[in-house]
Structure 1
């Protein structure tokens, strides 16, 4: 029988061909919707927070689909597996660097970038006051963060960065050295500093944090190996000596002088003074009006300058202070009130000792403060 003109006979498809096509289609769909294979630029994928309520020390990336935010994940953290060792790089230990900042110094940021501890293991935390200077510092800080985290080389980028703004007024509006170091301003100023430190600490300390490095915003020079150098002593809290470089008009040369007097060994005279004080009064160091005769680490630099020399302390400064995270987890914080007639970092050292953690100092290991 003749076929009608224009009709076409369809050839029956082979079942194996159909199966192969179906497998190929499934493969293409999976390839398109699956995330790309982790690379060096995606090194934080494992530690990236999956929800905005996840621990703040994990970087959080918002969903690309607005409005599609699932419930917070239930996550189990095994803090017994968090190591705190003298070799933090080998053990991939996470470091939280915390900085109360009232002014932004470019030298501080440049010095921070020079730290050769792996930056992917470092989280930065800042707290700034809501003042004119604080607003300017926040703007400058955000500009440097943008440049480093998005435009800079991969090795310079930090794990995550957190910025907080103080919700309380600063005690001293001016940040000039002559004003903020007046004895009359010290108690109120250090109360506010303690509150700022505590707010920053309690907001940022995460379950994977091994070490907390307190680094003041006006520390502009320190060894690139600062973190691992301090950690190598395996002390619960340890502080280097803080000095300041300046031009000596007499010798016509650059010289240096002690800056931080808050790292000390106690004296009987200081204890007697405290015994005569009221519960809300505080002892201050470095003022002739209150001679405590404590042994100040600022004046313990030895001729041999052995940087590994370590000494026990009763008070510590906070310009550059490395603390094992367990010390803070045990409850040691910065008292914004008179604690055994001590306050802020010196009160923190006393609180740590009461919890069984001995403070230590390195008289010959120096960091340098900005010279106004």
Structure 2
């Protein structure tokens, strides 16, 4: 039986950050990664995972492969057989959603954002539904991150926040790579929040690396595969830097937020704030 977050917070009051009842063991964490056409990234992805400074018996790994055309699923199955001893469990699932970019069209093309991110949201939701098991926390990690501190998980857990993520950049100390993490109608990105403390409250989150208390997923918090929160006070509006891709498509008020931004709007509606750590950097591939 899963404990409620209220019961858990009381039990943990005298324990280490994020620990399970009694404080004798660190929490169980399930690392979740959706993958598609990821063969160039898999070696580095697993290298970084194996550098994590965290008890292996408390880590599980779940990956969902979708719609790949480069043999990603076969490579994953081969690699996971070698990784089983390094995790409590390591599993891969396959579920296709039928989304493929047209030839010659980059993934950031405005015309592709809604269908691409809807498919990604569905893959995240499916993966959370099948992979969490008895985990206390879900740690979402994108397959194309190329570096992060070995103690990143401990530092995220130490915040005692239900939803928190580090700062994703391409160059150490550089501008934010992930523009889905923002405040004030996207007028402030994570690089704008450096110097405001180790921990800042956000209106929206990105998913390159994102720590979520697992019970939130069990209680219904999803990555909406549709625009969510059309009139949400924290959703973006037209004007200036806040005119995001969805606003450009709509030509009017943003009709809500999708995927990780929609996740943040839904979290706020559930009474759960979102947090970021501007000084704690993880590095994305240069693309």
Matched residues in 1 for 2:102 and 2:210: separation? Answer: 25
Q: 1:147 aligns with which of 82, 92, 108?
A: 82
Aligned-partner SS, 2:44? helix
CA change 1:369–1:131 in 2 (3 A) is same
Matched residues in 2 for 1:117 and 1:368: separation? Answer: 20
Q: Name 1:301's counterpart in structure 2.
A: 194
Q: Is 1:258 the equivalent of 2:176? A: yes
Q: Map of 1:310-349 to 2, 5 A cutoff?
A: 310-340=199-229, 341-349=256-264
Q: TM-score, normalised by structure 1?
A: 0.62
Q: 2:116 aligns with which of 176, 189, 193?
A: 189
Aligned-partner SS, 2:170? strand
Q: Is 1:369 the equivalent of 2:284? A: yes
How many angstroms does 1:130 deviate by?
3.3
CA change 1:255–1:351 in 2 (3 A) is closer
CA change 1:173–1:233 in 2 (3 A) is farther
Deviates more, 1:121-130 or 1:209-218: 121-130
Flag structure 2 segments of 5+ consecutive residues without an equivalent: 230-255
Matched residues in 2 for 1:145 and 1:173: separation? Answer: 31
Q: 1:355 aligns with which of 260, 270, 276?
A: 270
Matched residues in 2 for 1:143 and 1:241: separation? Answer: 31
Q: Name 1:53's counterpart in structure 2.
A: none
Matched residues in 1 for 2:111 and 2:65: separation? Answer: 23
How many angstroms does 1:364 deviate by?
1.2
Q: 1:159 aligns with which of 88, 93, 113?
A: 88
Matched residues in 1 for 2:149 and 2:264: separation? Answer: 24
Q: Map of 1:230-241 to 2, 5 A cutoff?
A: 230-241=156-167
Q: Deviations over 1:26-75 (max 9, x none)?
A: xxxxxxxxxxxxxxxxxxxxxxxxxxxxxxxxxxxxxxxxxxxxxxxxxx
Q: Map of 1:179-218 to 2, 5 A cutoff?
A: 179-206=106-133, 208-218=134-144
Q: Map of 1:20-99 to 2, 5 A cutoff?
A: 77=1, 79=3, 86-88=17-19, 90-99=24-33
Alignment: residue pair count: 248
How many angstroms does 1:171 deviate by?
4.2
CA change 1:87–1:325 in 2 (3 A) is closer
Larger Rg: 1
Deviates more, 1:313-322 or 1:160-169: 160-169
How many angstroms does 1:354 deviate by?
0.4
Matched residues in 1 for 2:146 and 2:166: separation? Answer: 14
CA change 1:171–1:336 in 2 (3 A) is farther
How many angstroms does 1:167 deviate by?
3.0
Aligned-partner SS, 2:53? coil
Matched residues in 1 for 2:139 and 2:169: separation? Answer: 18
How many angstroms does 1:119 deviate by?
1.2
- Do the aligned partners of 1:263 and 1:316 also contact (CA within 8 Å) in 2? yes
Q: Deviations over 1:200-255 (max 9, x none)?
A: 0111122x21110010001121111111100100011001110013xxxxxxxx98
Matched residues in 1 for 2:140 and 2:148: separation? Answer: 13
Aligned-partner SS, 1:361? strand
Q: Is 1:228 the equivalent of 2:159? A: no
Matched residues in 2 for 1:310 and 1:358: separation? Answer: 12
